[in-house]
């Protein structure tokens, strides 16, 4: 087995030159509040959904106050304005992930909708009884259940790439897991629980060599790390606007043009047709073929504004900032006796850290943190099979974004340490 786990660097000092300017935080009105009386809000639930800067909120307001009408239909001023801005947003999304053509960018309601679209449209047309679908043990339910459903409909077999105890994919298993029956490999680029950054490029190379295509669940990577679908070798890639400073209800499915072209439409209705008769229809060209009905117009335009904002800050700088915070959090949390961090050392992970304590339960940890103003997530994080693999029922997750600070990490660690102390078995209280 070639997987080796590198030791974490034994340093806990923050390098301020790797951090983003603290003033960025001023752009986020929601972060300027206190909760539970006088506790400043410390928002560490970004893997679930991030907050929006006023530049994005302003664009939403401007669209609704000045430009809004349905797109692609009316020949009037507002419809033209909305259409132009909606298509501009598509172009921004295209550029952001390095896709070749804007028609390869399908607006959906989010990652979940994007993956379901592929499982239904591509899956039903291409996957037959006895074929194989390959996922990993660390997938979010969004990148697992649609494939389970496809396997059930088609009679295909679902297989899983296993992980090490440290939360790294065991890539050697691809030698036997990838066969001539494998039709698709569906993998997260970053795990929403372990934080593991998966070697998508290598997986895609091996999948393609075996004749399979690759779907990348990029919900946790597009917001945080520079992404290029062509470098990844992704055939499909999915992400959500609300995890990257944008609104809810908008997401993207990238698909390679020749694949999308050959796929049947998924939802039927307005906009996705070229011509309709009493008994049949012909589908529209890409991307309209997969955008039936009135799309999320203002959210798409505001996603464009979020992308503008991220580009201005720079994804490299965002990644550096988060890496600095997560390394610091990892090193400090590790010092708490009995605390178990899930997933690999910082050099292999994006900006989040999940952990368990012997006592109390993860939900209680989250509730006690909330009382101090710290928002984290607790539970199985839509990764039940991963939690089964790790032998736990729940974990607590702190996830960072560009507006978080080392002082917030300090507070997190301090409160977690106090919780740990308070729930230590009687007679074993730690002396301060």
Which among 259, 246, 220, 321 is positioned nearest to 15, based on CA atoms?
321
Whole-angstrom Cα distance, residue 71 to residue 90? 13
Which among 118, 187, 186, 182 is positioned nearest to 156, based on CA atoms?
182
According to DSSP, the β-strands at 340-342 and 182-188 are unpaired
Which positions from 5 through 64 interact with ligand PMP, judged by CB under 6 A?
Answer: 47-48
DSSP string of 311-380?
A: HHH-HHHHHHHHHHHHHHHHHHHTTSTT-EEES--GGGB-SEEEEE-SSS-HHHHHHHHHHTTEE-EEE-
Contact status: 395 vs ligand PMP (CB under 6 A): no
The piece of 8-16, 66-74, 213-221, 399-407 that touches ligand PMP (CB under 6 A) is 213-221
Helix axes 406-422, 315-333, angle to 10 degrees: 30
Quote the least distance from Cβ 276 to ligand PMP, whole Å. 30
Collapsing DSSP to helix, strand or coil, 275 comes out as strand
The only residue of 198, 240, 271, 399 in contact with ligand PMP, by rule CB under 6 A: 240
The only residue of 110, 246, 247, 373 in contact with ligand PMP, by rule CB under 6 A: 110
Contact status: 198 vs ligand PMP (CB under 6 A): no
DSSP string of 42-75?
A: EE-BTTT-----HHHHHHHHHIIIII---SSS--
The only residue of 85, 154, 182, 220 in contact with ligand PMP, by rule CB under 6 A: 220
Quote the least distance from Cβ 48 to ligand PMP, whole Å. 6
Whole-angstrom Cα distance, residue 183 to residue 275? 32
Does residue 214 contact residue 193 with C-beta atoms inside 8 Å?
no
Does residue 83 contact residue 71 with C-beta atoms inside 8 Å?
yes
Would you say 85 or 196 has its CB closer to ligand PMP?
196
Would you say 217 or 408 has its CB closer to ligand PMP?
217
How many residues in the shown chain lie near ligand PMP by CB under 6 A?
15
The only residue of 51, 83, 85, 111 in contact with ligand PMP, by rule CB under 6 A: 111
Burial bucket for residue 180 (CB in 10 Å: 0-12, 13-18, 19+): exposed
The piece of 108-116, 254-262, 332-340, 402-410 that touches ligand PMP (CB under 6 A) is 108-116
The piece of 153-161, 215-223, 267-275, 290-298 that touches ligand PMP (CB under 6 A) is 215-223
Whole-angstrom Cα distance, residue 47 to residue 350? 11
Would you say 45 or 67 has its CB closer to ligand PMP?
45
Quote the least distance from Cβ 190 to ligand PMP, whole Å. 7
The 3-state DSSP composition of the chain as helix, strand, coil percent (nearest 5) reads 45, 15, 40
**DSSP-assigned beta bridge partners for residue 133:** 158, 184
According to DSSP, the β-strands at 132-136 and 395-399 are unpaired
Would you say 14 or 48 has its CB closer to ligand PMP?
48
Quote the least distance from Cβ 193 to ligand PMP, whole Å. 8
Q: Write each residue from 133 to 172 as x if it is in contact with ligand PMP (CB under 6 A), else as -, in one continuous string.
A: -------x-xx-----------------------------
Total count of residues recorded for the chain = 432
The piece of 104-112, 156-164, 356-364, 369-377 that touches ligand PMP (CB under 6 A) is 104-112
Does residue 257 contact residue 104 with C-beta atoms inside 8 Å?
yes
Residue from 273, 382, 392, 417 carrying the catalytic annotation: 382
- Whether 175 sits among the annotated catalytic residues: the reply is no
Quote the least distance from Cβ 162 to ligand PMP, whole Å. 18
Q: Write each residue from 358 to 387 as x if it is in contact with ligand PMP (CB under 6 A), else as -, in one continuous string.
A: ------------------------x-----
Q: Write each residue from 316 to 355 as x if it is in contact with ligand PMP (CB under 6 A), else as -, in one continuous string.
A: ----------------------------------------
DSSP state of 196: B
Collapsing DSSP to helix, strand or coil, 303 comes out as helix
State the Rg of the chain over Cα: 23
The piece of 67-75, 127-135, 214-222, 323-331 that touches ligand PMP (CB under 6 A) is 214-222
The piece of 36-44, 105-113, 301-309, 318-326 that touches ligand PMP (CB under 6 A) is 105-113
Which among 352, 372, 350 is positioned nearest to 417, based on CA atoms?
372
Name the residues annotated as catalytic: 382
Which residues sit at the interface with ligand PMP, rule CB under 6 A? Answer: 47-48, 110-112, 140, 142-143, 188, 192, 217, 219-220, 240, 382
């Amino acid at each position: 087995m070639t997987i080796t786990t590198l030791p974490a660097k034994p340093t806990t000092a923050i390098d301020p030159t790797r951090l983003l300017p603290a003033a960025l935080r001023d752009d986020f009105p929601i972060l300027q509040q206190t909760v539970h009386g006088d506790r400043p809000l410390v928002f560490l639930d970004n893997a679930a959904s991030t907050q929006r800067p006023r530049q994005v909120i302003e664009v939403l307001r401007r669209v609704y106050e000045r430009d809004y009408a349905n797109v692609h239909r009316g020949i009037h001023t507002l419809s033209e304005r909305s259409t132009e801005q909606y298509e501009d947003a598509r172009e921004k999304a295209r550029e952001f992930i390095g896709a070749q053509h804007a028609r390869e960018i399908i607006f959906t309601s989010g990652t979940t909708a994007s993956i379901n679209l592929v499982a239904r449209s591509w899956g039903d047309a291409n996957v037959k009884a006895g074929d194989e679908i390959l996922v990993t043990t660390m997938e979010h339910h969004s990148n697992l259940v649609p494939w389970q459903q496809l396997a059930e409909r088609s009679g295909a077999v679902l297989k899983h790439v296993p992980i090490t105890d440290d939360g790294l994919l065991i890539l050697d298993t691809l030698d036997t897991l990838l066969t001539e029956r494998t039709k698709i490999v569906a993998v997260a680029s970053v795990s929403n629980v372990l934080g593991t950054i998966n070697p998508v490029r290598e997986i895609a190379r091996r999948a393609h060599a075996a004749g399979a295509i690759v779907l990348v669940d990029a919900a946790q990577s597009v917001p945080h790390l520079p992404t290029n679908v062509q470098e990844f070798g992704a055939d499909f890639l999915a992400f959500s606007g609300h995890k990257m400073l944008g609104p809810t209800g908008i997401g993207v499915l990238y698909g390679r043009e020749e694949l999308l072209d050959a796929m049947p439409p998924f939802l039927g209705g307005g906009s996705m047709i070229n011509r309709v008769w009493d008994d049949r229809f012909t589908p529209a060209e890409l991307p309209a073929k997969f955008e039936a009905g009135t799309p999320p117009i203002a959210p798409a335009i505001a996603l464009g504004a979020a992308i503008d904002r991220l580009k201005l800050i720079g994804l490299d700088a965002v990644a550096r900032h988060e890496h600095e915070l997560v390394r610091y959090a990892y090193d400090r949390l590790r010092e708490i006796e009995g605390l178990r961090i899930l997933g690999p050392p910082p050099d292999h992970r994006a900006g989040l850290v999940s952990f368990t304590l012997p006592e109390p339960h993860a939900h209680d940890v989250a509730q006690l943190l909330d009382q101090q103003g710290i928002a984290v997530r607790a539970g199985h994080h839509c990764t039940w099979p991963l939690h089964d693999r790790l032998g736990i029922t729940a974990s607590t997750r702190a996830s960072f974004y560009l507006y978080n600070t080392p002082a917030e990490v300090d507070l997190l660690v301090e409160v977690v340490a106090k919780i740990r102390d308070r729930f230590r078995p009687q007679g074993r209280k730690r002396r301060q």
